[in-house]
Structure 1
Amino acid sequence: MTDLEWKPFSLTYVEYPNGDTIGKILAISSLTPIAIIVGFITLILFRRDLHTIMFFIGALLNEGLNLVLKSVIAEPRPVLRGGLYTEYGMPSSHSQMMWFFAVYSVLFLIFRLRHISNSMMELLWKVMVAVGLVTAASVVMFSRVYLLYHSWSQVLWGALVGVLLGCSWFMLTHLVLTPLFPVIASWSVCERFMIRDTSLIPNILWFEYTHARTENRARSRKLTSMKSQ
């Protein structure tokens, strides 16, 4: 075993300067893409919504494109990282992933997640979420430079590719694929796996909340009625 060459798994392996609190916080923040992937898988397993599945497919295509660009451009990571990593650094996969997710999510907030009332509170909530998404993407992008995993050009190009792909994938999903969702949801394989289409529901969060509350109250009244008999 001593003659084996060991290589770190870069998806979860993050280093930061010893005793650097800011570096430690940024190192933790750089794990956000992993949390996003786990969140996608969890949502798909429990909600089985076609739009969520397409969002996840876009994220996977984004990662695949990043691997292709890294192989074609073949630009190494900053010299200060030494021999820690053997893969290339242009463009930054963390930056590309975060900006793809942020841009797609912001467009989803604007064009898909809406309520009939369009109240000021809803607008404020959307602005806060959008600012949070952009801030998270910016922090992760900065962390890759601060921790010397990438240069500024590598994270900025990653951000640009992520933004462009996020916009393109949202337009494709929203304008081309969403009208086909009712047909896709009626396929036998989708019915077997309970894959559903919620594209015609203006605010799926509000719908699920009110539907669950109404069903719970109805079942509670029924249970009370049965006990009283």
Structure 2
Amino acid sequence: MAAVGECSLGVPWTPVSLTHVEYPAGDFTGQLLACVSLGPIFIIVGFVTLIVFKRELHTISFLAGLLVNEGVNWLIKSIIQEPRPCTEIHTSVYSKNAMPSSHSQFMWFFAVYSFLFLYLRMHQTNNARFLDLLWRHVLSLFLLTAAFLVSYSRVYLVYHTWSQVFYGGVVGSVMAVVWFAFTQEILTPLFPRIAAWPLSEFFLIRDTSLIPNILWFEYTVTRAEARNRQRKLGTKLQ
């Protein structure tokens, strides 16, 4: 139980505005879009988790691109210094500058880069199965829809204007194309050498650039190894 006086308001309390999203009370659509606007936070957490468990160089490069994209957004905001549309509504925000929208720029970078990765990086043979192509199309549509919804949520919740989210999407898309080309042409040829570094071997960092479908590769290798070990175990028990 708190002691007397511990709950007194000595100084004003401020929320962590980086993830603090407000919506009109009683507005279900606003509440839903507020949750949707937290998409970049979920994506970053997902990337960190994926890197910890997979430790793949291209995934690390993808995350680095997202961080560079955020740095570019901060730089542009600092130069333009265009305020948010309704500062009297949202008194607690991470940044008072709003051009371009960082949420929109982040999501469109993620969506466009993933789109390029699916159709240019995950190339398979010409006789790719219909379900493989359908999976790419459905995932691409989902990514583009998510990017649009996050951008729309920032306008609906009055954190940005349409022009701010539009230019955020444009900058994020351009950054995605540039970073994808940089990764493909500059970084990917260096990945085998980086993976061979003693530090990379210590942290089990690997390069899977030459494997077109890493999920199928890991599945087949794991299944073959499991069957091999089961066969050896059965031989020992006889």
TM over 0.5: yes
Contact 2:56 2:208 in 1 (8 A): yes
Find out whether 1:127 has 2:137 as its counterpart: yes
Find out whether 1:204 has 2:204 as its counterpart: no
One-letter amino acid of the counterpart of residue 63, structure 2: F
Contact 1:144 1:150 in 2 (8 A): yes
**Alignment deviations for residues 57-97 of structure 1 (CA, whole Å, 9 cap, x no partner):** 00111111111111111111112535333521111111010
Residues 136, 60 of structure 1: alpha-carbon distance in 2 compared, 3 angstrom cutoff:
same
Corresponding residue for residue 93 of structure 1? 102
One-letter amino acid of the counterpart of residue 102, structure 2: S
Q: Percent identity?
A: 55
Q: For residues 130 and 38 of structure 2, what CA distance do their matches in structure 1 show?
A: 34
Decide which of 85, 91, 110 is 1:83's aligned counterpart.
Answer: 91
Give structure 1 stretches of 5+ with no counterpart. none
Give, in angstroms, the shift of residue 2 of structure 1.
Answer: 4.4
Find out whether 1:176 has 2:183 as its counterpart: no
Give, in angstroms, the shift of residue 123 of structure 1.
Answer: 1.1
**Alignment deviations for residues 88-146 of structure 1 (CA, whole Å, 9 cap, x no partner):** 11111110100000000000001111333422211111100000000000000000000
Decide which of 103, 106, 109 is 2:115's aligned counterpart.
Answer: 106
**Alignment deviations for residues 177-225 of structure 1 (CA, whole Å, 9 cap, x no partner):** 1011111111111111111110011111111111111111212222222
Q: For residues 170 and 178 of structure 1, what CA distance do their matches in structure 2 show?
A: 10
Decide which of 43, 50, 58 is 1:51's aligned counterpart.
Answer: 58
Contact 2:17 2:92 in 1 (8 A): no
One-letter amino acid of the counterpart of residue 111, structure 1: L
**Alignment deviations for residues 20-49 of structure 1 (CA, whole Å, 9 cap, x no partner):** 111111111111101110111011111111
Decide which of 41, 50, 69 is 2:48's aligned counterpart.
Answer: 41
Corresponding residue for residue 66 of structure 1? 73
Q: For residues 13 and 71 of structure 2, what CA distance do their matches in structure 1 show?
A: 25
The count of aligned residue pairs is 228
**TM-score w.r.t. length of structure 1:** 0.94
Q: For residues 141 and 115 of structure 1, what CA distance do their matches in structure 2 show?
A: 33
Contact 2:98 2:164 in 1 (8 A): yes
One-letter amino acid of the counterpart of residue 136, structure 1: A
Q: For residues 194 and 140 of structure 1, what CA distance do their matches in structure 2 show?
A: 35
Corresponding residue for residue 228 of structure 2? 218
Contact 1:81 1:149 in 2 (8 A): no
Give, in angstroms, the shift of residue 17 of structure 1.
Answer: 1.2
Q: For residues 69 and 191 of structure 1, what CA distance do their matches in structure 2 show?
A: 38
Q: For residues 63 and 6 of structure 1, what CA distance do their matches in structure 2 show?
A: 28
Contact 1:70 1:89 in 2 (8 A): yes
Question: What secondary structure is seen at the aligned counterpart in 2 of 1:95?
Answer: helix
Corresponding residue for residue 5 of structure 2? none
Q: For residues 223 and 97 of structure 1, what CA distance do their matches in structure 2 show?
A: 50
Instruction: Give the 4+ runs in structure 1 shifted more than 4 A.
Output: none
Q: For residues 137 and 189 of structure 1, what CA distance do their matches in structure 2 show?
A: 36
Q: For residues 34 and 73 of structure 1, what CA distance do their matches in structure 2 show?
A: 25
